[in-house]
Amino acid sequence: MKLTIKSLPIFALMAVMFSGCNNSKSPNGNRGALASTAAEKVYVPPGEHDEFYAFFSGGYSGNLTVYGLPSGRMFKEIPVFSQFPTNGYGYSEETKPMLNTSHGFIPWDDLHHPDISQTDGKLDGRWIFVNGNNTPRIARIDLKTFETDEIIEVPNSAGNHSSSFVTENTEYVVAGTRFSVPVPQKDISIKEYRGNFKGALSFIEVAPETGRMNLKFQIMMPGFDYDLSHPGRGKSHGWFFFTTYNTEEANTLLEVNASQNDKDFIAAVNWKKIEEYINNGGGTKMPAEYAHNVYDHSTHSAKSTIKKEVLMVDPTKVPGAVFLLPTPKSPHGCDVDPTGKYIIGNGKLSADLTIHSFGKMIAAIEAEKFDGDAYGIPILKFEDVLAGQVKSGGLGPLHTEFDGKGNAYTTFFISSELVKWNVETREVIDRQPNYYSVGHVMIPGGNSAAPFGKYAVAMNKITKDRYLPTGPELEHSAQLFDISGEKMELLLDFPTHGEPHYAAGIPAEILAPESQKIYRLEDNKHEFAALGGDETRVERHGNEVHVYMSMIRSHFTPDNIEGIRVGDKVYFHITNHEQDFDVPHGFAMIGANNAELLIMPGQTRTLVWEPGQVGVWPFYCTDFCSALHQEMQGYVRVSPA
Ligand code: CUK
Ligand code: CUA
């Protein structure tokens, strides 16, 4: 038997990994004249703006970070799936419902892939979608306010990895399950995986004006692992492509290492066909509980609704809707080039890239040239859909992006490098080492019909860096390349927060953030807002006490609160009365079992406090707001129950 990477036992594979990527030993190797031109290229003088925004997934931080390119400066962390004490997201009563799921309140997730909304295949800069991998969810962040406005849970799924990519007019944001599971969930032996576990692919409709998400349908696929996905575009608009692995349907992947299929599949889904089918009454409604959480900017509050039903489509009932394209060696990345002609499967245990031709795929489907089926889903012949392969010379290809000038950039995890090649000739043009073991690469607009091919950012998977030491636990590292010339030029290393799986970049001029946004008091529809000075008060209902409080430089009203008893549940509803957009105030209560609140002008936020001890307890403003910030404080008197 020929010894392939795929047939190596896992420890041997690891040996290959760790011997193969020892390329950037000398951190000071690039010093000199080259370094100074690189420095000029990334230097953004104080007071000037970066050319691009870059939104990095924060991986197991659960959040999204915002950087500028080319400077590599981090501007902000946007809380999405994780509680964020910095501004009270997920701690305040108003934002807690954002983290509700069918499993209850889940204040953490693993965020993988951001994707910016598109119109006609071009970035439109309205929203950015991200996926929660662990408790499957998709979130929508508004790119005017840079706030998470909506989170929808994805039922019948586990390990929501192949998301959250959008179709060319943001008709759908798509999710796919990494783990196949019993659908619906039930108590069954894990050994009975094969044939009993299913992989749901989810199509979440996006309302064109508001961006509001709605889980339109799911496709019940065979029990493979669905890894990544990409939309068709141009000619292939109307299709979506998903890489799969474990097509053996093994319940333990140790077994797979021993007897592995030489090829897994890319699943090609004609979602327009399925849309037609369900518009004609197709599909079966089945019970499925999932949360849908929406933030409302007029009440400054989120609401969570539990949905009960999903429309499930059996792909074998829709002729022409789903096909399987054999693809070698456990493909990971599934990338469609800007023209929509090519679908690239990166076999992560291979040296070569497989490029499928959309045109050949359609021809083979029309000629009905199939090579059997999997649970009734036709399998196409590898040779019939193959456009060609790239003999890369690298090892462990993961992801590919495009520069819009006919070139592709593929990351190689094992050989730890970025390889540039020509999409049509499939010839390798350049290769650059990465520090260390690169995962995704991002070119602004790289997942669209019109990329901005000036910079590429390589995101490294292994936590090795070459900065000042910070103890055993390290952040990850990104590397910025100038890709405007024939050869790539490394410009900058910069740290990222949490493991960055992917990022989405966009020219700053396309975004129109409401940087001077002020929530006006007269628009504040919060149920417990204290709008005028005379609306501040303390109300008791049994053991519940509601404090209607206002704040303005530099005091709270009321600031002396008496009549609270041990065992009460105290709600501080605090409204910021400032007129300047950039004067938030904070609120922190001693012994409160949550976080501070950061309250923007015009906004109301609520913190719950359940005092357990008799005494007089202070609160204060946490955000330095004026020369009298330190005077912005108050007391609560707590008497015996
Ligand atoms: S990724 Cu999620 S394991 Cu290659 Cu998109 Cu990092
Ligand atoms: Cu308000 Cu400090």
The dihedral through the CA atoms of 303, 304, 308, 313 has a sign that is: positive
pLDDT, average across residues 476-500: 95
pLDDT band at 257 (very low <50, low <70, confident <90, very high): low
Say if ligand 2 is within 6 A of residue 555 CB.
Answer: no
Residue ranges in 338-496 assigned as alpha helix (H): 358-366, 382-385
Residues 397-431 pLDDT 10s: 999 999 999 999 999 999 999 999 999 999 999 99
Say if ligand 1 is within 6 A of residue 500 CB.
Answer: no
pLDDT band at 315 (very low <50, low <70, confident <90, very high): very high
Say if ligand 1 is within 6 A of residue 439 CB.
Answer: yes
The owner of tokens 């649970």 is 375
Say if ligand 2 is within 6 A of residue 467 CB.
Answer: no
What are the percentages of helix, strand and coil residues in the chain, rounded to 5? 10, 45, 45
User: CATH: 3.40.50.12280, 2.60.40.420, 2.20.70.10, 3.30.70.1520. Which one for 521-639?
Assistant: 2.60.40.420
Residues 167-187 pLDDT 10s: 999 999 999 999 999 999 999
pLDDT of residue 10: 41
What distance in Å separates the CA atoms of residue 528 and residue 408, rounded to the nearest whole number? Answer: 54
Q: When comparing pLDDT for 26 and 444, which is higher?
A: 444
Say if ligand 1 is within 6 A of residue 112 CB.
Answer: yes
pLDDT of 337 strictly over 50 = yes
pLDDT of residue 30: 53
pLDDT of 329 strictly over 90 = no
Q: When comparing pLDDT for 319 and 25, which is higher?
A: 319
What distance in Å separates the CA atoms of residue 70 and residue 48, rounded to the nearest whole number? Answer: 12
Say if ligand 1 is within 6 A of residue 398 CB.
Answer: yes
User: Looking at the domain covering 50-510, what would its CATH class be?
Assistant: mainly beta
* Ligand 1 centre distance from Cα of residue 549 (Å): 45
pLDDT of residue 123: 98
Residues 504-559 pLDDT 10s: 999 999 997 777 778 999 999 999 999 987 899 999 999 999 999 999 999 999 99
What distance in Å separates the CA atoms of residue 23 and residue 395, rounded to the nearest whole number? Answer: 14
Say if ligand 1 is within 6 A of residue 502 CB.
Answer: yes
* Ligand 1 centre distance from Cα of residue 501 (Å): 5
pLDDT of 307 strictly over 50 = yes
Say if ligand 2 is within 6 A of residue 629 CB.
Answer: yes
pLDDT band at 387 (very low <50, low <70, confident <90, very high): very high
Report which ligand 1 atom has the smallest distance to the Cα of 113.
5
pLDDT of 13 strictly over 50 = no
Question: Which residue's CA is the nearest one to ligand 2's atom 1?
Answer: 585
For the chain, the average pLDDT equals: 93
Question: Which residue's CA is the nearest one to ligand 1's atom 6?
Answer: 501
* Ligand 2 centre distance from Cα of residue 401 (Å): 46
pLDDT of residue 78: 98
* Ligand 2 centre distance from Cα of residue 630 (Å): 7
The ligand that comes nearest to the alpha carbon of residue 626 is 2
pLDDT of residue 462: 87
CA distances to 131, 137, 292 from 110, rounded to whole Å, are: 8, 10, 18
Say if ligand 1 is within 6 A of residue 476 CB.
Answer: no
The ligand that comes nearest to the alpha carbon of residue 584 is 2
The ligand that comes nearest to the alpha carbon of residue 576 is 2
Residues 122-142 pLDDT 10s: 999 999 999 999 999 999 999
pLDDT, average across residues 88-116: 98
* Ligand 2 centre distance from Cα of residue 428 (Å): 58
pLDDT of 292 strictly over 60 = yes
Structure tokens at 266: 């890319």
Residues 552-578 pLDDT 10s: 999 999 999 999 999 999 999 999 999
pLDDT, average across residues 189-196: 95
For the chain, the domains span 50-510, 521-639
ipTM: 0.94
What distance in Å separates the CA atoms of residue 199 and residue 144, rounded to the nearest whole number? Answer: 35
pLDDT, average across residues 241-262: 83
Q: Which of 57, 164, 225, 228 to mutate to test the pocket of ligand 1 (most atoms within 8 A of CB)?
A: 228
pLDDT of residue 256: 66
pLDDT band at 641 (very low <50, low <70, confident <90, very high): very high
Report which ligand 2 atom has the smallest distance to the Cα of 622.
2
pLDDT of residue 3: 37
Judge whether 155 and 290 are in contact, CB under 8 Å: yes
pLDDT of residue 16: 42
